[in-house]
Amino acid sequence: MKKYKHILKDREDAAKRLTEVIPMQKLKEENWKLVAVSRGGLELAHYIKGKHKNALDFLFSEAIKAPNNSECEIARVCESEEIVINEKLVSTFEIKYDYIYGEAHRKHEEKILSYVYQYRKGKPFASMYNQVVLLVDEGAETGLKFMTALKAVMAMKPKAVYIAVPVIPSDVLELLETFADNIFFLYEIDDYVETELYYEELNRVNEDKIEKILGEKE
């Protein structure tokens, strides 16, 4: 664990290093669509995009927590109402699917739709049909954010879906490799703890910054 502590300075540093493993010329020539799957992922994607004209969007999603443990994420729902469930946890804690689907609907109506109106002025997530898509996040603890985004984007029949993430657990990498066309990463970590541990600085991305990034002209 100590081996990887503070291996990245901040999101800008992570982005610069990721651009060395992402084929940036192809990203530009093929007009890849960058899609962030978290607030931090949005800032990271913004740095990766730099001065390129590629479209950048945010696929909003919300965690569904276990009934008796607010720290335990058992599933995730996104704005297209795609749901990904951690079947192992649900089985272990004997959680009913009615609870998961009920919570998914509530989170979608109460939180996700408000994000869509606040940050995208009510516009739906853009179609990724026949596009090359790059999903971006600052880290991946359980893989649920990426899995939910993959499910939503792949339903739109894109040409290809790639993932860019600076740090990733070994088991999550193995899982995501099954679904993504390629994964660009800096560090694969066996005993992954939490994403913040691997950055010297990881400030929360506030509402103003989200609106500014998403409001920029392509």
pLDDT in tens, 179-213: 999 999 999 999 999 999 999 999 999 999 999 99
Average pLDDT over all residues of the chain = 95
Domains and CATH numbers, the chain: 2-59+125-215 (3.40.50.2020), 62-120 (3.30.1310)
**What pLDDT score does 2 carry?**
65
The confidence score (pLDDT) of residue 216 equals: 80
Give the total residue count for the chain. Answer: 218
What is the percentage of the chain residues whose pLDDT exceeds 90? Answer: 94
- What DSSP line would sit under 88-114, residue for residue? HHHHHTT--HHHHHHHHHHHIIIIIHH
pLDDT at site 29? 97
Contacts of 60 (CB under 8 A, 6+ apart): 78, 79, 112, 115, 116, 119
- When pLDDT is cut at 50, 70 and 90, the band that residue 217 belongs to is low
User: Is pLDDT of 7 > 70?
Assistant: yes
Is the confidence at residue 147, as pLDDT, over 80? Answer: yes
**Is the pLDDT score of 33 beyond 60?**
yes
Buried (b) or exposed (e) across 16-40, using 16+ Cβ within 10 A?
ebbbeebeeeebeeeebbbbbbbbb
* pLDDT exceeds 90 at position 218: no
pLDDT of residue 214 exceeding 80: yes
Do residues 138 and 202 lie in contact, with contact meaning Cβ atoms separated by under 8 Å? yes
Give yes or no for residue 74 having a pLDDT over 80: yes
**Residue 1 predicted with pLDDT over 90:** no
